[in-house]
């Protein structure tokens, strides 16, 4: 029967072409939007994890309460022994020391007088230790626009937008003014090793990257760290693993009432990331539901029109003794075949468009200049295994549902009127 129906679908384009096109377009949009949202949200989550939150992060309890303010006066002391302990207790994660800070950068003229000043946020990371993963995590090699990576103490990177604003080039010097851990005035001279662009307007408008040893000396934070992020070595963020890890670590310090005792939090609990993760997890189901409903209505109407055109056909088949339920089943089989054909074509089209945007990306920098969210301005799709089958759910189901709704009219045919209709 399937072979017979398949030949009928191919030979009678009038009853299969329009529904197949509708299904194909809907499936292509489903696949493309799934890849777009997965890529945009995934890149944003990855960027936030790399720059700020980690997959999990250890801070002092006092620091954790005001994390967004980067209160380095509440930083962890004895950070180096704590990192060693974390690496020993939880070897599946890569643990790093960081200091996030804010300050003022002063650029001198040729006479040493202030030429320009500007506020910045900063990251003190491990740039020089053998085996450090921070350069790769911040993607510094690919972010360099001018100059080079710091190769010795006293060198730093600044973002290109900030450098352009103050007409700064590699080799120029600047003074970083800030606040020490004890609340005193801090300043340190640096040489601009290079300028970088991370592709996030929040960071690119004014940031400095320096080695943690230099910033520790500048801020009086020897053997201290504002935060100790941890990253799973086997891939991206895993909420189940992060939760178990957080609970295990915090249980060890539960009896310690000191507000400077270490506390671990997971990515989900930082900076509104819970909403990001929930949206990323639910978006596939939401899109499928929306497209199933929308396409079902369209295909229902198409099925009704097709049913009117095939009114005589159904009458003849009933007059020849074919059962109504058999005609109804064949209509569902037709819907299954047309939905499958349309879904295959639509998935191929959607994957092709997704692959193009995954490679090339779409620059949305002009739309995100004033954004306060840390996310890349070059948005790329991301093809995941789900992209190969997610389109079949709305494609096949909506076609079958549309035919099922339209086919109800078959049961309303009055067999006693068939011959009178055929005579007409």
Token pair listed for 413: 């045919």
pLDDT, residue 59, reads 93
User: What's the distance, CA 35 to chain centroid?
Assistant: 10
Q: 149 and 15, same structural domain?
A: no
Helix (H, G, I), strand (E, B) or coil at 382: coil
Q: Please give the chain's pLDDT, 424 residues, in tens.
A: 556 555 555 556 666 677 778 788 888 888 888 888 878 777 777 888 888 888 999 999 999 888 888 898 899 998 889 999 999 999 999 999 999 999 999 998 888 788 888 999 999 999 998 888 999 898 888 889 899 999 999 999 999 889 888 889 999 999 999 888 888 888 899 999 999 988 777 788 889 999 999 999 999 888 899 999 999 988 778 888 999 999 999 999 888 888 889 999 998 888 777 776 777 667 667 766 777 677 767 766 665 655 556 666 666 777 677 777 877 787 788 778 888 888 899 999 999 999 998 888 776 655 555 554 556 667 788 888 888 988 888 788 877 877 777 777 666 666 555 555 555 4
The domain boundary, picked from 186, 220, 235, lies at 235
How far apart are the C-alpha atoms of 294 and 25, rounded to whole Å?
Answer: 12
Q: Rounded CA gap, 100 and 123, in Å?
A: 5
Checking DSSP bridges between strand 228-232 and strand 56-60, what pairing results, if any? antiparallel
Q: Is 194 helix (H, G, I), strand (E, B) or coil?
A: strand
Strand, coil or helix: 358: helix
Considering the domain architecture, whether residues 129 and 13 belong to the same structural domain is answered as: no
Same domain (yes/no): 327, 228: no
Return the pLDDT at 9. 58
Q: Can you tell me the distance from the alpha carbon of 403 to that of 33, in angstroms, rounded to the nearest whole number?
A: 26
Question: Is 149 within the bounds of a domain?
Answer: yes
Q: Counting every residue, how long is the chain?
A: 424
Statement to judge: residues 307 and 334 lie in one domain: yes
Per-residue pLDDT, 100: 93
Give CA 240 to chain center in angstroms. Answer: 18
The DSSP bridge partners found for residue 192 are: 156
Number of H helices and E strands in the chain, helices first, is 15, 15
Which residue segment(s) compose the domain that 83 sits in? 56-235
* Domain total in the chain: 2
| 86-to-50, 52, 245, 259 alpha-carbon distances in Å | 19, 19, 11, 20
- Do 337 and 419 share a structural domain? yes
In angstroms, the CA 216 to CA 206 distance is 21
**CA–CA separation, 250 vs 157, rounded Å?**
36
Residues 223 and 293 in one domain: no
| Domain identity same for 218 and 289 | no
CA distance linking residue 22 with residue 192, whole number of Å? 57
Contacts for 382 with CB less than 8 Å, ≥ 6 apart: 35, 38, 39, 42, 43, 358
pLDDT given at position 194: 93
Neighbours of 416 (CB within 10 A): 7
Q: Which of 235, 259, 290 is the last residue of a domain?
A: 235
Whether residue 256 lies inside any domain: the answer is no
From residue 388, alpha-carbon distances to 20, 42, 350, 385 in Å are 18, 18, 9, 6
Residue 13 confidence (pLDDT):
60
Termini Cα distance of the chain: 31
389 in the same domain as 281: yes
Gap between the Cα atoms of 315 and 418, Å rounded:
6
Statement to judge: residues 179 and 37 lie in one domain: no
Same domain, 63 and 15: no
Assign 26 to helix, strand or coil. Answer: helix
């Amino acid at each position: 029967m399937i072979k017979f129906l398949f030949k009928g679908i191919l030979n009678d384009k009038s009853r299969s072409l329009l529904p197949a096109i509708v299904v194909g377009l809907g499936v292509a949009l489903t696949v493309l939007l799934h890849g777009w949202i997965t890529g945009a949200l995934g890149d944003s989550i990855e960027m936030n994890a790399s720059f700020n939150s980690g997959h999990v992060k250890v801070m002092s309890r006092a620091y954790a309460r005001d994390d967004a303010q980067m209160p380095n006066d509440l930083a962890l002391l004895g950070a180096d022994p704590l990192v060693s302990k974390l690496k020993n207790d939880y070897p599946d994660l890569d643990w790093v020391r960081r200091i996030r800070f804010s300050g003022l950068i002063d650029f001198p003229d040729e006479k040493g007088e202030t030429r320009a000043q500007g506020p910045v946020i900063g990251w003190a990371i491990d740039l020089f230790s053998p085996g450090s993963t921070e350069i790769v995590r911040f993607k510094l090699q690919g972010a360099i626009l001018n100059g080079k990576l710091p190769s010795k103490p006293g060198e730093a990177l600044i973002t290109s937008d900030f450098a352009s604003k103050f007409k700064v080039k590699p080799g120029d010097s600047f003074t970083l003014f800030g606040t020490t851990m004890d609340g005193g005035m801090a300043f340190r001279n640096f040489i601009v090793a290079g300028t970088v662009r991370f592709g996030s307007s929040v960071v690119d408008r004014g940031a400095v990257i320096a080695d943690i040893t230099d910033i520790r000396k500048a801020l009086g934070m020897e053997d201290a760290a504002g935060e100790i992020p941890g990253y799973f070595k086997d891939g991206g963020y895993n909420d189940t693993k992060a939760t178990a890890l957080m609970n295990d670590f915090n249980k060890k310090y539960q009896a310690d009432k000191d507000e400077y005792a270490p506390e671990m939090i997971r990515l989900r609990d930082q900076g509104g990331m819970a909403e990001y993760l929930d949206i990323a997890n639910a978006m596939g189901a939401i899109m499928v539901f929306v497209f199933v409903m929308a396409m079902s209505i369209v295909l229902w109407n198409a099925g009704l029109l097709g049913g009117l055109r095939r009114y005589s056909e159904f009458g003849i088949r009933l007059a020849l003794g074919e059962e109504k339920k058999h005609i109804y089943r064949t209509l569902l089989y037709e819907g299954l075949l047309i939905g499958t054909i349309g879904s295959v074509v639509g998935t191929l089209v959607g994957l092709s468009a997704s692959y193009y945007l995954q490679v090339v990306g779409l620059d949305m920098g002009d739309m995100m200049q004033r954004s306060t969210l840390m996310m890349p301005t070059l948005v790329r799709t991301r093809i995941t295994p789900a992209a190969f089958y997610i389109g079949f759910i709305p494609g096949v189901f909506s076609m079958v549902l549309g035919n099922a709704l339209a086919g109800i009219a078959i049961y309303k045919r009055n067999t006693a009127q068939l011959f009178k209709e055929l005579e007409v």
